[in-house]
A and B are shown apart, each in its own frame.
Chain A
Amino acid sequence: MKRAAVPAFALSVLYGCAWHQQSALNPGGPQAAKIDTLWWSFFWLLGVIFIIVMTVLLLTLTGRRANMEREALEVTHKASPQTESQTRRIVTGATIITILILFVLIVASVGTGKAIADLGFKKNPLTIQVTGNQWWWEIQYINGDASQTLVTANEMHIPVGRPVQILGQSQDVIHSFWVPNLHGKRDLIPSRTTNEWIEADQPGAYRGQCAEFCGLQHAHMALWVIAEPEDRFDAWMRAQLQPAASPSTQETIRGQQVFLNNACVFCHQIRGTTAGGQNAPDLTHFGSRRGIAANTVPNTKGNLAGWIVDPQSMKPGNHMATIAVNSTDLQPLVDYLESLK
């Protein structure tokens, strides 16, 4: 039967995609795992209901009505009283079953919501403020000690097994923070701070993407969450807290000059240099990141050169100014930025 085949097909595809990155059904942490479990219980229960209803639907097409009084029906357009009362019993029963099933689903859903809420209140949390911008993410590690407060962009590292509180804010329009392997989405709303707890229980790179339409380049607003063992995370944090490495080769020294002498500095910050712009991603450790332009393309020298020369063709409408960098300056600039590990 075609209709019976649909759920089976769906199932195989769903399991197939469960290994995929950015899939809600491939959990990398307890929040996503709980939602995943809830999904499959809904899926099976609702799937059985679907099959039952479809079976009845098909039965209405067959000759099942042999025992009903056709003659009476033709004149009166009514079923016989026996048929009517029998049908009434079935419909009433089906309604009661529907109510019971929904009750179970509500309890399961609210229970999962509660369990997810409880996951946050563990000791030793890490707090990260995520600020949405058109069209990139500012990531700020909040720490009581100002010297330990780290600002970066579009890539977030978290320690495995430690709960992370995401404080969501927005500079401009509404965005939504969503890393499906770790948790559902939470909107970033101007004038408000939203709150979500995530946690990774195995190391890995989890991709996320803005989930609330935020304008022209909504499609190109991705971020990576890199979950690492605690010691590697600490090492990363220490490195990131350092000011930018001073350029060491002739080429990169020249690149730094190009950067500092151009309009780049009005928007971008590179700690340890005079570039202190606050309107665009912090580039202090740009070279260590995976992607360019909120992960529109991988971070390679070729892509970077293309991005600097003509940002509007790679990500039309984005807010990065096109700066006339002459061809002899381009290579040093790219080399310099890529050296900021």
Chain B
Amino acid sequence: MTATQDFTPQIPNQAEEVEQLHRSWRHPRGVLGWLSYTTHQAIGTRYIITAFIMLLTGGAEALLMRTQLARPNNGFLSPDRYNEIFTTHGTTMMFLFAVPMMEGMAIYLVPLMCGTRNVAFPRLNAFGYWMFLFGVLFLYWGVFTNAAPDVGWFAYPPLSGPQFTPGKRTDYWAQMITFTEVSALCVATEIIATIFKMRAPGMSLNRMPLYVWSLLIQSFMVIFAMPAVVIASSYLLSDRTVATQFVNPAEGGDPILYQHVFWFFGHPEVYIIFIPALGFVSAIVVAHARREIFGYTAMVLAQIANGFIAFGLWVHHMFATGLPQIGEAYFTASSMMIAITSGVQIFCWLATLWTGRPRLTTALHFIYGFLVIFVVGGLTGVVLASVPLDWQVHDTYFVVAHFHYVLIGGALFPLFGAFYHWFPKITGRMMDEKIGRLNFWVLFIGFNLTFFPMHIQGLMGMPRRVYTYPAEMGWGPLNFIETIGAYIIGIGGILFIANVVSSHRSGRIAGNNPWDADSLEWATASPPENYNFEYLPVATSRYPLWVDRSERAFVTGLRNDRREALVTTLMDAEPHHRYVFPASSIWPFITAIAVTIGFAGSVFNPWYIVWGSVLSGLALVGWFWPRGDSEAES
């Protein structure tokens, strides 16, 4: 093995400096203190745990649906209950699990990979988490008070409008979107600022790990896509609560416009979920194939192109609305272009694996599983890009199969790989590889058993979102197989949780860099201290931990008696100035409460927007009011 262990430098009076660092980065105590945490490890972990609970919840909802569909004319769930559950399942998985989970991983990993001590705006980060959590509580409060949304996760008007869905169900849904948007936009903003301005000296853009690249691209996609869903959900909410006419066909509003706006967000949303997952794949492939990525530049360009193209193909969700033929041809071509950029990345991973020395760890198992499933999902995506084929398979189980192949295959499998890969970093202990492999095979088999038959079922004419079906349609056997598969996936989930729990308690101690990986998060203790690095590392290569010991460098001269890090220039990451992070603070939590009062109240009475704004304004003044610490001019 190369000498990658013991990356930390030995410097005179180090012990004293570290002690000082420790004091200035210590968390405040008590419950109020707990609500005031602003370190990225704490916030990232909170995101990950909350989102994981949402994954379990969404999974449980999926099992209820699969139980209902196991046989024709089943009476396990009533139609209204079924509609609530499929809506809540989609909403939970898209908005409350997938995006926040990717954000949580990014919040945890990006500062470490960039070699800095926290995200650029730690308080905004905490605020974002609280907004996400309150969004979760808000939606599920609706679910448990018998007001779960029941109009599907894209809530097409007029079905979702005031006339056809009276009551508060859809309002809860639409306002939950606002909560998660605020959260996602906070994260995107701070991730971009962190990546642009806080990378380790020497980590020029072309030395950035591919995972960091993927987050940069994803964050920009969030910035440009989320405003669209803010508008779509505001159309609905204001039509429902203050009687505007945005999507009311009777007054010149247009339901199709809602679809355009929604999918202008909704398609990029899918990439927002899986682009970070592709970043996981790159990181894991490099570390476990033990060689540099093949075609770094091609990978970066393909990811950027993916990000751009994602905004040019939303209409393929609307082929059945009847569009002019020229538009159809354009959107077919643009949708198929995604296959090129994704293809390039797949080829590069395959080349890396082929010419590397893959170590068949559980993490890499999940990457292989990802490659199998994602390729199938990509190919069925090509089918959906074709307008005539889409006319047939749109809104059938074929589409259900496709997006589960893309999202579970494309995002969840890499995510599980990432859990196995970074668990040692986050907890300091290794996960059990034997259970891990079993975990992989159970999930892989369960997944394919559940979702592969859905392709066939869709071609056989079974539409999605039906709570039952007649026996004579002949869809029963496939549905039954799928239900069995779904329960196998459930067993896979239990195996994973068991592995996490037992490994967390008694797994092998990991050490700094158990995989002999290349990137900076492995250059520090596992789990990292609140300040991440005793001395900020310098990136002397694209693979800073794989360079010779003699070529390594560190930053000294930062003050340790307050939370400091380094700001570097955008392109070349030259040190520019020192940066003082704000101290821990309760104000993000208070502000989130104030905003929540406005958001939640406005569902019942529009005036709450005003009260919420006033309260939030006051809270923000408290947030930004100078505390006298570390403010002095030098």
Using CB atoms and an 8 Å cutoff, list the residues of chain A in contact with chain B.
Answer: 3, 6, 10, 13-14, 17, 20-25, 32, 34-35, 38-39, 42, 46, 49-50, 53-54, 56-57, 59-61, 64-65, 68, 70, 73-79, 83-84, 87-88, 90-91, 94-95, 98-99, 102, 105-106, 108-110, 112-114, 116-117, 134, 168, 172-174, 176, 178, 180, 183-187, 189-192, 194-196, 207, 209-219, 316-317
Contact = CB atoms under 8 A, between A and B. Distances in A.
A65 B355 contact: yes
B256 interface: yes
A209 B355 contact: no
B322 A10 contact: no
19 contacts: A24-B392, A24-B393, A39-B459, A53-B375, A74-B2, A84-B294, A98-B340, A106-B329, A110-B329, A110-B332, A173-B156, A176-B320, A185-B320, A189-B256, A190-B158, A211-B394, A213-B159, A219-B466, A316-B80
Given A77-B290, A174-B156, A194 B460 contact: no
B79 interface: yes
Given A35-B392, A109-B388, A173 B343 contact: no
Interface in B284-327: 290-292, 294-295, 298, 320-322, 325
Given A13-B456, A184-B392, A215-B83, 9 more contacts: A21-B461, A22-B460, A74-B357, A75-B2, A106-B332, A112-B386, A176-B320, A187-B321, A191-B250
Nearest to B249: A191
Nearest to B357: A73
A91 B294 contact: yes
Contact of B325 (A14, A79, A117, A219): A117
Interface in B344-369: 344, 346-348, 350-351, 353-358, 360, 368
Given A187-B321, A190-B158, A57 B371 contact: yes
Contacts of A176: 320, 395
A105 B255 contact: no
A179 B371 CA distance: 35
Interface in B269-294: 290-292, 294
B509 interface: no
B292 A78 contact: yes
Contacts of A21: 461, 473-474
Contact of A64 (B151, B354, B372, B375): B354
Interface in B375-423: 375-376, 379, 382-383, 385-396
A209 B461 contact: yes
Contacts of B249: 190-191
B375 A50 contact: yes
Contacts of B386: 38, 42, 105, 108-109, 112
Given A79-B291, A183-B391, A194-B322, A87 B383 contact: no
Given A102-B339, A174-B156, A191 B254 contact: yes
* Top 3 closest pairs, chain A to chain B, by CB: A184-B391, A22-B461, A191-B249
Contacts of B340: 95, 98-99, 102
B337 to A, nearest CB: 8
A210 B320 contact: no
Contacts of A53: 346, 350, 371, 375
B455 interface: yes
Nearest to B393: A24
B344 A95 contact: yes
Contacts of B291: 73, 77-79
Contacts of B350: 53, 56-57, 60
A75 B376 CA distance: 36
Given A3-B372, A95-B343, A316-B78, A65 B354 contact: yes
Interface string B50-76: 000000000000000000000000000
Contacts of B385: 109
A32 B461 CA distance: 13
A185 B391 contact: yes
Interface string B136-155: 00000000000000011000
B255 A174 contact: yes
B461 A219 contact: no
A173 to B, nearest CB: 4
A194 B459 contact: no
Contacts, number: 253
Interface string B493-521: 00000000000000000000000001000
A54 B463 CA distance: 30
A180 B386 CA distance: 16
B360 to A, nearest CB: 8
Contact of B376 (A13, A50, A186, A191): A50
B391 A187 contact: no
Contact of B351 (A78, A87, A168, A218): A87
Contacts of B391: 35, 183-186
B467 A219 contact: yes
B456 A14 contact: yes
A109 B540 CA distance: 50
Contacts of B368: 57, 61
B313 to A, nearest CB: 13
Nearest to A116: B388
A89 B467 CA distance: 51
B294 A114 contact: no
Q: Output the residue of B360, B394, B468 with the most chain A CB within 10 A.
A: B394
A53 B339 CA distance: 14
A70 B357 contact: yes
Contacts of A185: 320, 391-392, 394-395
A35 B543 CA distance: 50
A78 B322 CA distance: 52
A112 B353 contact: no
B83 A216 contact: yes
B325 A114 contact: yes
Contacts of A316: 78-80
Nearest to A216: B79
Given A91-B351, A113-B329, A317 B371 contact: no
Contacts of B83: 215-216
Contacts of B395: 176, 185, 211-213
Given A60-B358, A70-B357, A90-B351, A23 B461 contact: yes
B355 A39 contact: no
A40 B332 CA distance: 18
B265 interface: no
Contacts of A90: 351
Interface in B499-554: 518, 543, 546
A109 B459 contact: no
A185 B347 CA distance: 36
B182 interface: no
Nearest to A192: B256
A50 B347 CA distance: 13
Given A195-B322, A211-B396, A83 B355 contact: yes
A73 B80 contact: no
B452 interface: yes
Given A113-B325, A174-B159, A217-B79, A68 B382 contact: no
A87 B354 contact: yes
Interface in B424-474: 452-453, 455-456, 459-461, 463-469, 473-474
A77 B292 contact: yes
B456 A17 contact: yes
A106 B333 contact: yes
Contacts of A114: 325
A120 to B, nearest CB: 12
A332 to B, nearest CB: 30
Contacts of A46: 379, 382-383
A19 B250 CA distance: 43
